[in-house]
Amino acid sequence: MGCRLSNGILTVDIADIGEYKGTRFDWTGFITQVTLEEGKHTFCVPESLKPGEGTGGKGLCNEFGISRAIGYDEAPIGGWFPKIGVGLLQKGTSPLYSFNEEFPLTSFSKDIEAGNDAVTYTIHPMESNGYAVQLTKTISLQGDQLIIAYELHNKGQKPFLTEEYIHNFIGIDGLNIGQDFELRLPRELKVVEPESSYTKELLEVSGNTLTWSKEPDKPFYCKLSGWEGQENEFTWELVHKPSGTGVRESGNFPVERMALWGEGHVVSPEVFVNISLLPRQSKSWRRSYRFFTAK
């Protein structure tokens, strides 16, 4: 049945642990829909509209270690390595970790404390080859903001380096991305390393604003600059111009990098935080999403 948070301004639907069964995204706090009650505006869509396509993402779902999987390189074929928020994964024959691969899984045990406007998940680690990471995540509502607070504690014997981001599968009111949408960053925006000529021609930049020259008919991907600066009020803001409806993300951490992915029905600005922990060290950070409409 999952969990529903509501404060009269926002209603947030969160999938039950185990509803998502993949080995990519964190199983806790898998947010499937956010509704702004004023106007009943919705913000979350699936990664793919075609059944069985994609990796099962939907709404606001985060991932640890997309490019730096903890312990993968050290694990032998058939050995185990931890995926934070998921469990121990069993390594196959590939020498390089791929987030698209599905792995045999032994799930971590998890505790949940839920109220009307907040829920806290605690994930208890299992030691594997000297690695053990405890995650505590709290999702709460404050006015028109959804706040996701994280704490990681290295309970293993080895240090580790990884990253976390949220794959924001956003589709405001189910509308396709196109010329009616703007993505805004705090500073002069640049498209960096577009993966194709299609992406390069699709995305148009003016100052700190990115727009789409047309409705995308296939996926696009690039990295972005323009988020640099600790004093920034927000990291990115996506607005549907005709309605004035939008979402703005901010955080209390230095941004490591930012990427942009999407296709016709979805756009995903992705903000990465770097994580480096010695044994017995902890790290906390927070993401805030403000949902708004001008009408």
* Residue partners of 151: CB distance under 8 A and separation at least 6: 135, 136, 137, 282, 283, 284
| Strand, coil or helix: 194 | coil
Q: What is residue 154's predicted lDDT score, i.e. its pLDDT?
A: 98
Continuous segment of H or E residues that includes residue 202: helix 197-202
Contact 107, 87 (CB under 8 A): yes
Q: What is residue 228's predicted lDDT score, i.e. its pLDDT?
A: 87
Q: What is residue 221's predicted lDDT score, i.e. its pLDDT?
A: 97
Q: What is residue 229's predicted lDDT score, i.e. its pLDDT?
A: 76
Q: What is residue 144's predicted lDDT score, i.e. its pLDDT?
A: 97
CA-CA distance, 62 to 82, in Å (whole number)? Answer: 16
Query: What stretches in the chain show pLDDT beneath 50?
Result: none
Q: pLDDT of 93-115, one tens digit each?
A: 999 999 999 999 999 999 999 99
Backbone angles phi, psi at 140, to 5 degrees: -140, 160
Taking the CA atoms of the chain, what radius of gyration do you get in angstroms?
A: 19
